[in-house]
Structures are given as C-alpha cells and as structure tokens.
C-alpha cells in the first residue's frame, strides 16, 4: 500500500524547541469528533485532547480525554519522559525534544519515532471511523534492553469551547470491569469514558491525583483563560520485554 507521507526529521541541535510546541496534528472520526495536539505532546489549546467526542444534543463536542503522560522505566530505574507538559510558573517539561527522531504524517495520521539508548519506539494515533474511539499505539522497532512502559491518562470533562479554568465535575468515579476501566462524572450527565491498555501483561495502579495549573499557551496568547487542572486516576504499566506492542484505547 502506497502512503502519502510528510516528514519532519527532528534535530535538537539545529531546531528550536518551540517548533515542537507550535506544530500541530489532527485526526477525525467522521462524526465531528477528533483528536488533536502538538508534536511535543503538550496541550496548548482548549480543544486539544486525545478524545474530543461528538455526542448527541445537548452535549455536542466534549473533551473526554485530555492528555497522557508517557514514561519508559529501564532496569536501572532510569525513567525517561517522552511527552511534554507546561505548568504555571514557567515549568516546561519537554522530553520530546531530547528523544524524538522523526514526526511524520502517513495518509494524514500522525506517527512519532523516538530513539532512547538502543531503543527505537514508534507511536501512532488513530480514530475508528464513525466511532468516538481513539487508539494510541506504541511499538518497539529495535532494541535489546526493553523498558517498562508507563502511561498516566488525565481528564477534564468539558465542552470543547469552554474555558480551561472551568470548575471540574466533582467527584470523578473510577470503576473496573475486567481489564477495562470506566471514568464517570455522575453530576455531568455525560456517558462514562472507557479506557484500557491492550496488552495481556498490562496492569493498572490506582493513584488518583489532580494535576494543577496546566498552561495552555495558545489560549494565553489570545487573551483567554489559560490555566486549568486535570484529574488522573492512576497509571497503566506494562513490561515490554516479551511484547513489542501496547495500545491504550479510550471510547
């Protein structure tokens, strides 16, 4: 199958880190829902997120899954962050700048390639057609010393045009159904978000936390509210020693 490809080879020595925060990607599902973000992984606009679901009236487009923090934990306990996050007070964590090798679009779908030690890791984001479902797929292409993959999803259920400092629905509820987890906000009237890590060795650690004062820099530049909180129920983790691939799915 022939792919139409646009590629950005990342060179941290010659490229500005701002490039990773200003270049954006978008994937749609044919319903009006979408996933969008920056190459770095940071969310910089109010409508950035891994799942902006197109729900029936009166809800419309709702941000259901905002962000995922991505870490590789090696046997020597060295922990590598692959993504990005900006917090109030100038706290910008931009692991992507150190380990990204290439970002490309294959027929419009985003693909990241990271080089960490002897490891080459690929990440893809796709949405199922006519479904409010997103898959984030991680695949090891090369490397002998396989790490543990740790993924911390974060949420803030709100309309995609609502200000990012809008009060969170309280409280969020987490339910486990076999290997799937449901996040719900009973007072919001929204359906629950179902999330799982597709790998038979995956585990989930319940460790809820509020991620305070996330900065949306594009909203700041436009004069809108630009600091908001996210909620995370915990993190998925899976040892990649015996498996080359894992996929986190939200629906």
The tens digit of pLDDT for each residue in 4-39 reads: 788 989 988 778 889 999 999 999 999 999 999 999
CATH number at residue 175: 2.70.98
Q: Does this model's pTM top 0.85?
A: yes
* pLDDT, position 187: 86
Tell me which long-range contacts 103-109 makes (C-beta under 8 A, separation of at least 24): 103/7, 103/8, 103/10, 103/23, 103/39, 104/5, 104/6, 104/7, 104/8, 105/5, 105/6, 105/7, 105/25, 106/3, 106/4, 106/5, 107/3, 107/4, 108/4, 108/27, 109/27
Give me the domain span that covers residue 201.
5-250
Lowest-confidence segment of 162-171, 201-210, 222-231 by average pLDDT:
162-171
Q: pLDDT confidence of 2, banded at 50, 70, 90?
A: low
Report the pLDDT averaged over residues 139-149.
Answer: 95
Q: What distance lies between CA 101 and its chain's CA centroid?
A: 18
Closest CA relative to residue 200, chosen from 171, 240, 230? 240
Q: What is the total count of domains within the chain?
A: 1
Closest CA relative to residue 121, chosen from 93, 94, 100? 100
Kindly report, residue by residue over 62-100, the tens digit of the pLDDT.
999 999 999 999 999 899 999 999 999 989 999 989 999
């Amino acid at each position: 199958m022939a792919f139409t490809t646009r590629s950005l080879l990342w060179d941290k020595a010659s490229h500005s880190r701002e490039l990773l925060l200003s270049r954006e990607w978008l994937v749609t599902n044919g319903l009006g829902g979408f996933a969008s973000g920056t190459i770095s992984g940071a969310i910089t606009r109010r409508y950035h997120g891994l799942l902006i679901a197109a729900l029936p009236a009166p809800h419309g487009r709702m941000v259901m899954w905002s962000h995922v923090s991505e870490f590789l934990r090696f046997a020597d306990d060295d922990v590598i962050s692959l993504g990005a996050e900006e917090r109030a007070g100038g706290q910008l964590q931009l692991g992507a700048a150190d380990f990204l090798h290439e970002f490309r679009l294959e027929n419009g779908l985003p693909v990241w390639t990271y080089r960490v030690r002897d490891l080459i890791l690929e990440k893809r984001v796709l949405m199922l057609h006519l479904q409010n479902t997103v898959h984030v797929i991680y695949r090891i292409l090369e490397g002998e010393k396989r790490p543990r993959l740790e993924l911390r999803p974060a949420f803030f259920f709100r309309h995609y045009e609502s200000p990012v400092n809008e009060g969170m629905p309280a409280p969020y509820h987490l339910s486990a159904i076999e290997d799937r987890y449901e996040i719900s906000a009973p007072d919001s009237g929204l359906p629950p978000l179902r999330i799982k890590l597709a790998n038979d060795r995956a585990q989930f650690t319940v460790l809820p936390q509020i991620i305070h004062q996330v900065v949306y820099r594009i909203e700041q530049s436009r004069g809108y509210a630009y600091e908001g909180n996210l909620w995370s129920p915990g993190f998925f983790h899976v040892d990649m020693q015996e498996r080359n691939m894992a996929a986190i799915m939200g629906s």
